[in-house]
Amino acid sequence: MKILQVLTYYRPWTSGLTIYVERLSKALVQLGHDVTVLTSQYDPNLPRYEVMDGVKVIRIPVALRISKGVIMPSFGPMAWKLARRADVIQLHLPQFDAPGVALRGRILHKPVVLTYHCDLNLPEGAFNRFVDRVVLTMNRAAGTIANAVATYTRDYGENSPYLSLYLGQKLKVIPPPVELADCTDAEAAAFHAQHQLGDRPIIGICTRLATEKGVEILLRALPIIMEAFPNVRVLHAGQYQNVLGEEAYAARLAPLFAQYAEQYSLLGNLNGAALTAFYKNIDVLTIPSLNSTESFGLVQIEAMQNGVPVVSSNLPGVRQPVTMTGMGEVVAIGDHEALAAALIRVLRDKAAYVRSPELIGASFAPLQTAVEYLNLFANLQNGRFDPTPTEPTAYSQLRAMRDGWSQ
């Protein structure tokens, strides 16, 4: 099957969305399918065409940026060319160009599937509100045209203003793909030594520095945590410099980072074995996100695969990894005192929160996600689609594990 993946940003850009598409595309190739990614050349130094892990990547030059969106005059002609060759088109939203590509697919009688990763929630300001409305309008147009709309959890689908439009009609829940590189004990020990972790309790956070990620909530919680664990350390993996559109946010947090320089370490992006070593060296991971721009938090599953509990915000979708597995706690959104209390509880009794990392890993394996999508693609090609809101088998298994553990 020839599959066209379309999204605004792709690797080496680092976000949950780009990592999702990279993992899914590699798994589809591994299963013998032909995958092409159509995306932006957001950095002019990136090649216009390359093959990454068997995935063909075509990048279109950017003529103009509007907030985090891009205008690409040559995008349309290339979309026509690739849509003609494809057997199925998968679009990853939010994306300004989505309705045009979806319409091409329908004109060409190709199944069109939208994967909706999150609601768009830009920082305050009249211009950003305008951008929000424009993108929402484009996303709704694409959803109307598409044959099916996929998301990570029914919880997020029911609470997203966008996804709730398609409940019982064309919404499909598919677990996201999660995998980590192997990491030897020696590599984990080297990471421990490099960052001089000693025997202190370690809190992890893995995200780029962005307004919606709620990093300041963790910084405000830190003094309370230090009362219980004076030698606590926070390791922050993820881009924290030159994050597109987040310059003002970074400047606002800079004084807090300076204040807690001895307790809070900014590591930058970690990949491969280094990222796995990060998880192996933390005691708890936190997701203090503030709004529906975060829809799941793939890093939660990465942590759980390494036996690390999670404390997450009570956001639709984001709360599901902890809710499904029982491996952590869920706290009120933006409440630094509640976050501190939960992190302290987990640090004091980590073993009480740990569940089967093997089952969690298998439930979110990229090959499993790829098979779910292939089944959806094949059904659409044959004119079949069941909109019944059933829970994926993997999620049912995780809830059974949680309930069995608590008895």
| Domain limits, the chain | 2-177+365-395, 185-359
User: Pairing relation of β-strands 284-287 and 264-268?
Assistant: unpaired
**Nearby residues of 131 by Cβ (< 8 Å), 6 or more positions away:** 66, 67, 69, 120, 122
Instruction: Output the six-digit token pair for 191.
Output: 């990471």
Q: Do 261 and 255 meet the contact criterion of CB atoms below 8 Å apart?
A: no
Q: Which of 297, 309, 345, 356 is nearest to 204 (CA)?
A: 309
| C-alpha pair distances (Å), 250 with each of 40, 239, 242, 256, 407 | 25, 11, 9, 10, 45
Q: How far is CA 191 from the centre of its chain?
A: 25
For residues 63 and 42, give the distance between their C-alpha atoms in angstroms, rounded to a whole number.
10
Give the end-to-end CA distance of the chain in Å, rounded to a whole number.
46
Query: Measured in whole angstroms, how far is the alpha carbon of residue 225 from the centre of its chain?
Result: 27
Give the Cα separation of 80 and 2 in Å (integer). Answer: 15
> Residue 106 and residue 122: Cα distance in Å, rounded?
31
> How much of the chain is in helix, strand and coil states, percent to nearest 5?
45, 20, 35
Query: Do 147 and 334 meet the contact criterion of CB atoms below 8 Å apart?
Result: no
pLDDT value at residue 245: 77
Taking a C-beta distance cutoff of 8 angstroms, is the pair 57, 50 a contact? yes
Superfamily of domain 2-177+365-395: Glycogen Phosphorylase B; (3.40.50.2000)
Identify whether the C-beta of residue 3 lies closer than 8 Å to the C-beta of residue 14. Answer: no
CA–CA dist 351, 297 (Å, integer): 22
pLDDT of residue 231: 96
CATH of range 185-359; options 3.30.200.210, 1.20.1260.10, 3.40.50.2000, 3.40.190.150: 3.40.50.2000
Question: pLDDT tens-digit profile of 77-96?
Answer: 999 999 999 999 999 998 88
Task: Read off the tokens for 36.
Answer: 């092409």
For residue 128, what pLDDT is reported? 61
Q: Which residues of 216-226 are buried (b: 16+ CB within 10 A; e: fewer)?
A: bbbbbbbeebe
Supply 58's token pair: 């075509």
Beta bridge partners of 284: 203
Q: Do residues 39 and 10 make contact, with C-beta atoms less than 8 angstroms apart?
A: yes
Task: With CA atoms as reference, report the closest residue to 366 among 278, 301, 280, 321.
Answer: 301
Query: Which residues in the chain land under pLDDT 50?
Result: none
- Mention every residue, 6+ apart, whose C-beta is less than 8 A from residue 121: 132, 212, 291, 292, 293
Predicted local confidence at residue 404, as pLDDT: 78
* pLDDT digits 0-9 by tens, 229-277: 999 999 999 999 888 778 889 999 999 999 999 999 999 999 999 999 9
- What pLDDT shows up at residue 36? 98
2-177+365-395 and 185-359 agree in CATH topology: yes
**Structure confidence at residue 95 (pLDDT):** 85
Q: Residue 67: what pLDDT? A: 65
Cβ-in-10-Å burial (0-12, 13-18, 19+) of 383 comes to: exposed
- Asked if the peptide bond before residue 12 counts as cis, ω within 30 degrees of 0, the response is yes
Beta-strand relationship, 171-173 and 202-206: unpaired
Rounded Cα–Cα distance for residues 259 and 257 (Å): 5
pTM of the shown model: 0.86
